[in-house]
Chains A and B, each alone.
Chain A
C-alpha cells in the first residue's frame, strides 16, 4: 500500500495558525458568570477595544456556586464584586488611561439575558454616579430576533 505523504501537513497547520492569530484577540479575563448574551439587530461595533471596560453580570458558573450562590452576580476583572465596587473600578480604569481619552471611554455591560433588570439598574445608577455615561449593552448580532 502506498504511503500518504505528510510533508504538506505542517504547511496546512501553519496556515490555520496564522488565520487564528490574525482573526482573534487575546482573552483578557476568564468569565466566572454565565454569558448568554441577548440578540439584537441594531447593533454597532465597539471601535476601540482599549477604551472599553467590561462589566460582566450573570449567574455564577457551577464551579463557583458553592461559594457565591446561584443568584446573579457582578464580575469586575477577575473577581466577583458588589455594586459599591463599581466606582472604584471606574476610577482605576480611568487611571490606566490618558486623560484625553477619558471622555471616549465606554463601559460595556455584558449581561446574561436571563438576568433580572434589578441588578442592571443598580449598576447603571452606579455608573451615573461615577459619571461613566457612555455604555454599551453587549449583544449578539442577528438578522431577526427570535423568541
Chain B
C-alpha cells in the first residue's frame, strides 16, 4: 500500500526569504568607493635644498583658497565657475602669451615635435577651508586637464581621451601632464 506523501507547507517560505532579504539589506552597502585619486609628494629629506625658486613665475598658476572659501587665482578674486576656463587657458597657452607658461619642443609619439608647456598649478589652502570647497577646486582643475586632453585626442585621433589606446593616452598625457602641486601647509588666512 502506497503511503501518501505529506505536503510541505510553502506558506512560510516567503517569511524566510524576507528575513534573508532584510539581513542582506542591513548588512551590505551599495556604494562603490570612487573619488579623486592623487599621489602625495614624498616627505622632503632634511638635507634637501628648497628648489621652489627654480620654477619661473610665468610657469606657475597660483590658486589660493582662504578660510572663508574664497578663491584667489593669480592674484585675482574670481568665482569658482571661472576657474576651469582660466586653468585651461593657462595650461595650454594657445596664443603663446608671454605671461603664460613657456613651451619646450619635445618629441612625442604620434605627434612628432610638439611644444609642451611647462605648466605647474600650485594649490594652497588654509586650515579653515572647508573640505567640500577643496574638493570642488581639485575637481575643477582635474576637469580642466580632462577637457584639454579630450580636445587634443579629438583633434589627433578623432576619439575622446578615454577611448584611446594605452600608448595614445600616454602620448596625450605627456603633452598635458597633470601637475598640481600642493605647497607645504601654511596659513593663508582670511578667517
Interface residues of A (CB under 8 A from B): 6-7, 9-10, 13-14, 16-17, 20-21, 23-27, 38-46, 49, 52, 54, 106, 108, 110-118, 120-121, 124-125, 127-129, 131, 133-141, 145
Extra A-B contacts (11), CB below 8 Å, given A10-B14, A38-B135: A7-B10, A13-B14, A26-B29, A40-B136, A42-B142, A42-B143, A115-B130, A117-B130, A127-B40, A128-B40, A136-B37
The answer on a CB contact under 8 Å between A20 and B34 is: no
Chain B residues in 8 Å Cβ range of A134? 37, 39-40
List 26 A-B pairs, Cβ < 8 Å. Answer: A6-B14, A13-B21, A14-B17, A17-B17, A27-B27, A40-B35, A41-B143, A42-B36, A44-B37, A45-B32, A45-B34, A112-B131, A114-B130, A116-B128, A116-B129, A117-B127, A117-B128, A118-B128, A128-B40, A128-B41, A128-B43, A135-B37, A135-B40, A139-B139, A141-B34, A145-B136
A145 to B36, CA, bound (A): 14
**Which of A25, A42, A52 is in CB contact (< 8 Å) with B139?**
A42
A10 to B28, CA, bound (A): 21
Chain A residues in 8 Å Cβ range of B142? 40, 42
Nearest CB of B to A118, in Å? 3
Given A14-B17, A114-B131: A137 and B138 within 8 A (CB)? yes
The answer on a CB contact under 8 Å between B21 and A10 is: no
Q: Count the A-B residue pairs with Cβ separation under 8 angstroms: how many?
A: 152
A42 to B11, CA, bound (A): 50
The answer on a CB contact under 8 Å between A46 and B35 is: yes
B125 at the interface (CB under 8 A from A): yes
Name the residue on B nearest A121 (C-beta). B185
Interface residues of B (CB under 8 A from A): 10-11, 13-14, 17-18, 20-21, 24-25, 27-30, 32-43, 125-132, 134-136, 138-139, 142-143, 146, 185
Secondary structure at the A interface, as helix, strand, loop or mixed, is mixed
Name the residue on B nearest A49 (C-beta). B33
Name the residue on A nearest B16 (C-beta). A10
A111 to B32, CA, bound (A): 16
Chain B residues in 8 Å Cβ range of A137? 35-38, 135, 138
A76 to B48, CA, bound (A): 33
Name the residue on A nearest B126 (C-beta). A117
Name the residue on A nearest B142 (C-beta). A42
A52 to B31, CA, bound (A): 14
